[in-house]
Amino acid sequence: MTKTVFRVLGVVASLAVSGVAVAADSPAIEWKVSDGGNGHWYQGVVGSISWNNARIAAIARGGDLASIETLNEHNFIVSKIFSQTPSLFNLWWGPHIGGIQADGATEPNGGWSWVSGSVLDCSIGLCDMDNNSDAQNRLAYDTTGTTFAFNDVAPTQTDNTPSYLIEWSADCNGDGSVDYGQIQSGELADQSQRCS
């Protein structure tokens, strides 16, 4: 077994040295209140997965798909997550995020909200929902160079979308801090559950 572990590590190291990128999740990063943030934690997770399964995976880890509610939040994610983890994108396709369109809503931007419950505000200039298909009623990021936008995808689509973005926002113990950070520091036991 030891030889197998070293063999795998050797392959990974040789790929890294040869310039072949090895896909890895982004580190979990807090948008600190002291920096003008909301105190939530974010992490990009690499892997081709449908929006539905990405949401199940995010919830299983104690978070949810990210709800990008302000331009400042978007800018934080681009500068701290996307810039450090380009493997979250496959050409222009990026991670699934927590946008949902209501049944029967009209395109291009009608009836969209976040899994957090807030209404998606396209006035911040990030919406690129141009598909007239009712089947594309979930959101993922896309990019054209340095411009990142929200794009509509089907909830069961797995092709093209290489990742998903988790957001941890729960303060189950009511102490004013997001529990995820306290779990990471060892202050709280990892329940891997959302508040009940």
Tens digits of per-residue pLDDT, 29-77? Answer: 999 999 999 999 999 999 889 999 999 999 999 999 999 999 999 999 9
CA distance 180 to 61: 10
How many structural domains does the chain have?
1
Residue 141, beta-bridge partner list = 150
177 falls within a domain: yes
Cβ neighbors of 78 (< 8 A, separation 6 or more) are: 148
What b/e string do you get for 56-69 counting C-beta neighbours within 10 Å, with b at 16 or more? ebbbebbbbbbbbb
Task: Find the farthest-apart pair of alpha carbons in the chain and give their distance in angstroms, rounded.
Answer: 57
Lowest-confidence segment of 11-20, 50-59, 94-103, 126-135 by average pLDDT: 11-20
Residue 195 in any domain: the answer is no
In a domain, 84, yes or no: yes
Residue 2 lies in a domain: no
Segment 158-170 mean pLDDT: 87
pLDDT category of residue 23 using cuts at 50, 70 and 90: low
Residues 99, 192, 183, 28, CA torsion sign: negative
- Residue 4 within any structural domain of the chain: no
Domain that holds residue 175: 27-185
The reply to whether 192 falls in a domain is: no
For residue 98, tell me if it sits in a domain.
yes
The reported pTM is 0.82
Question: Is 47 part of a structural domain of the chain?
Answer: yes
Output the domain CATH number for residue 49: 3.10.100.10
